[in-house]
Structure formats: structure tokens, C-alpha cells
């Protein structure tokens, strides 16, 4: 067994401060993406936020341990990206986990206050939450973490590249956890997860800050050539996407199914744009579709009785 890890108070505060700032940014984007000039649109958005809030509260009431498990994985992901390690049974970790959950709940209040123009601005909200969580107003500089008796030796290979953005696989897991936490069905969430796995296999597990329109086009082109239900077909089961594409006699998918897969990735990128806009400024899958071939059905001719009725002199 290794030594019990204990990161400093300053490091924990920096993790929490970063989460607060990201949550504030998310709330601002929800507001700016809403047509606040039309009251009905504002009320529609507030209703959506209320429903989301009620769903989360219901999840907490019915299965608090499962909710904590989802939040715990989110905290673990953040610490991993920062190459920090902490004893998950420690009081510090449990407090951080609970504060992450509290932010998940309180952000809905922030959105509604900003949408309703309550008089509070982002700075007011920031001061309130900093005071509540005892976060110092000014960010503290975090020195490079060194191996010590109180800190575990972390993995040397970091998953964050030079641009500072996390990899697809990391944010995908965060997105899936949040989706389940928000009450979406496990079946639909599993389908989205499977499609995102395909995305990673096709374009690579790259940092999200390095994604471009080229990647969205590549995804569309590749899935268009893949057979439908390939994981359920013995011929393709166990093969990689590249291996399948090298086979003869492969029939691609119908436009309807291709667009369904693109839609799943579009949902993911919408979430990325809201939560990681500093790295993903636009949804590269927005408007990306495969057009279905229109079949012109010949119009049936008129019957003799219909022709007589049309050209009846009494009608003109």
C-alpha cells in the first residue's frame, strides 16, 4: 500500500475555484443562447431549467449514493487531469465531492436569476459562492506538484496536451455521467456513448482544443461507408473500423441512420460548447447531414367524373 495522499488546501481551493468559474461560464452561455428579447422564450427556457432541477433533486432523493458516485467520478477526472491524487475516503475529498454536487444544483438558480434580470450580475454571484465555499478572492499560484510523503507519485504522462485541453475520452466520460445524472435513459445514453466511441476511433483520442471541421467531415464520410448494426453481425464483430472498411462487398448505411449518428455527436458537441467553450468555440457537427434521395411519386390522373366536375360550366 502506498502512502495516504493529502493535497494542500491551496490546491483544493484551486480545483474548486476552477469548477466555480466553469459553472458560471456555463450559466452565462445558457443565458446568451436564449432569445431574452422575447418573454415567452425566456419563460420556456426557465421551464426547461426547472424541469432539469426537479429531475436532479428527484435523483438525489431516490438514489443519493448513485448520484454521489457520478459526482465522485467527475472529481476524479478533474484531479487526474491536474495530476493530483487524494485519498477518496478523506474528509477533504468528501467535502469537494459535495461542493461539486451543490454547484450542480445551484447553477440552475444562477441561470434563472440571470434570465429574470433579478439585478444580480456574474460578479455578485461569484462573490456569494466564493464566500459560501470560503474561496479566496484571488487565485493562488500552484507550484508543480512534487512527490512527497503526503502526495502519491502521479502518472508522468499527462492526458492534457500543450493547449491545455482534455482529451475526447475524458470529457466523454464526464458528459455521459452528467447525462445519466440529469435523468436521461440508460439506453439512449449507452447508444450515444457507443457512437462517441466510434468518433474517437475515427478521428483519434485528441485534445478537444484541436478538433476542427475536418474531423466532422471525416466522421461523416467514414460512418457513411460502415454497415448498419456491425457490432451485431458475425462478419464484422470484433473488427476495428479500419479492418471493416478494407473488406469487400460492404454496403453503407442509409442516410436516415447516418443522420441519427451525426445527431448523437452533435448533442455531445453542444455540451462541449456550453462547458468547454474556451477549447470548443463552435459545434462542428451543427448543420452536418446527409441528404436523402427524394423519390417523386407520380401523381394519379383524374377520373372522368372528376374532370367533368372541374370543367363544369357552373363552376366558372
Q: Is residue 156 included in any domain, yes or no?
A: no
Predicted local distance difference test score (pLDDT) of residue 164: 77
Are 16 and 133 part of one and the same domain? yes
**Do 17 and 125 lie in a common domain?**
yes
13 with 112, same domain: the answer is: yes
In the chain, the number of structural domains is 2
Residues 110 and 204 placed together within one structural domain of the fold? no
* CA dist 150 → 1, 42, 79, 134, 161 (Å): 13, 50, 16, 24, 27
| Prediction pTM value | 0.69
Q: Which domain holds residue 129?
A: 9-138
Confidence of residue 131 (pLDDT cuts 50, 70, 90): very high
> How many residues are given for the chain?
316
Structure confidence at residue 136 (pLDDT): 82
- Is residue 35 in some structural domain? yes
pLDDT digits (tens, 9 = 90+) for 215-265: 999 999 999 999 988 888 899 988 999 999 999 988 899 999 999 999 999
Q: Looking at the structure, do residues 215 and 267 belong to the same domain, yes or no?
A: yes
Say yes or no to pLDDT of 140 above 60: no
What pLDDT digit, counting tens, does each position of 141-158 carry?
Answer: 333 333 333 323 333 333
Tell me, yes or no, whether 101 lies in a domain: yes
With cut-offs at 50, 70 and 90, classify the pLDDT of residue 183.
confident
Same domain, 122 and 208: no
What is the spatial distance between Cα 177 and Cα 209, in angstroms, rounded to a whole number? 21
**Torsions phi, psi for 254 (to 5 deg):** -75, 150
Q: What is the pLDDT of residue 24?
A: 92
- DSSP code string of 233-292: STTTTT--HHHHHTSSS-----HHHHHHHHHHHHHHHHHHHHH-TTT--S-TTTT---PP
In terms of Cβ atoms closer than 10 Å to its own Cβ (0-12, 13-18, 19+), residue 262 is buried
Q: Which of 86, 118, 138 is the endpoint of a domain?
A: 138
The 10s digit of each residue's pLDDT in 51-105 is 989 988 998 998 899 899 889 988 988 888 888 888 888 999 999 999 999 999 9
Return the residue matching grid coordinates 485541453.
165
- Residue 316: inside a domain: no
Q: Is the distance from CB of 283 to CB of 269 less than 8 angstroms? A: yes
Let me know whether 84 and 186 are in one domain: no
Asked whether residue 261 is assigned to any structural domain, the reply reads: yes
Q: Do 125 and 204 share a structural domain? A: no
What was the pLDDT predicted at 46? 94
Amino acid at each position: 500500500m502506498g502512502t495516504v495522499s493529502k493535497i494542500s488546501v491551496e490546491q483544493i481551493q484551486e480545483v474548486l475555484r476552477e469548477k466555480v468559474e466553469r459553472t458560471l461560464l456555463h450559466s452565462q452561455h445558457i443565458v446568451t443562447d436564449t432569445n431574452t428579447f422575447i418573454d415567452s422564450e425566456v419563460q420556456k427556457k426557465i421551464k426547461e431549467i426547472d424541469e432539469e432541477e426537479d429531475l436532479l433533486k428527484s435523483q438525489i432523493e431516490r438514489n443519493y449514493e448513485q448520484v454521489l458516485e457520478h459526482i465522485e467520478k467527475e472529481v476524479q477526472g478533474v484531479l487526474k487531469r491536474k495530476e493530483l491524487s487524494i485519498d477518496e475516503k478523506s474528509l477533504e475529498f468528501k467535502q469537494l465531492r459535495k461542493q461539486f454536487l451543490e454547484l450542480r444544483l445551484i447553477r440552475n438558480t444562477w441561470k434563472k436569476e440571470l434570465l429574470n434580470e433579478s439585478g444580480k450580475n456574474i460578479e455578485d454571484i461569484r462573490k456569494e459562492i466564493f464566500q459560501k465555499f470560503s474561496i479566496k478572492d484571488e487565485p493562488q499560484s500552484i507550484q508543480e506538484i512534487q512527490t512527497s510523503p503526503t502526495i502519491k507519485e502521479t502518472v508522468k504522462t499527462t492526458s492534457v496536451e500543450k493547449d491545455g485541453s482534455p482529451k475526447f475520452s475524458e470529457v466523454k466520460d464526464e458528459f455521459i455521467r452528467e447525462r445519466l445524472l440529469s435523468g436521461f435513459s440508460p439506453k439512449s445514453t449507452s447508444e450515444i456513448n457507443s457512437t462517441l466511441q466510434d468518433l474517437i476511433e475515427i478521428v483519434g483520442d485528441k485534445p478537444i482544443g484541436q478538433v476542427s471541421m475536418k474531423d466532422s467531415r471525416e466522421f461523416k464520410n467514414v460512418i457513411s461507408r460502415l454497415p448498419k448494426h456491425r457490432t451485431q453481425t458475425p462478419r464484422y464483430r470484433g473488427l476495428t473500423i479500419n479492418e471493416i472498411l478494407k473488406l469487400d462487398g460492404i454496403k453503407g448505411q442509409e442516410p436516415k441512420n447516418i443522420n441519427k449518428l451525426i445527431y448523437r455527436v452533435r448533442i455531445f458537441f453542444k455540451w462541449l460548447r456550453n462547458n468547454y467553450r474556451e477549447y470548443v468555440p463552435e459545434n462542428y457537427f451543427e448543420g452536418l447531414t446527409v441528404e436523402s434521395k427524394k423519390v417523386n411519386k407520380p401523381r394519379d390522373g383524374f377520373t372522368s367524373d372528376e374532370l367533368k366536375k372541374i370543367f363544369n360550366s357552373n363552376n366558372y
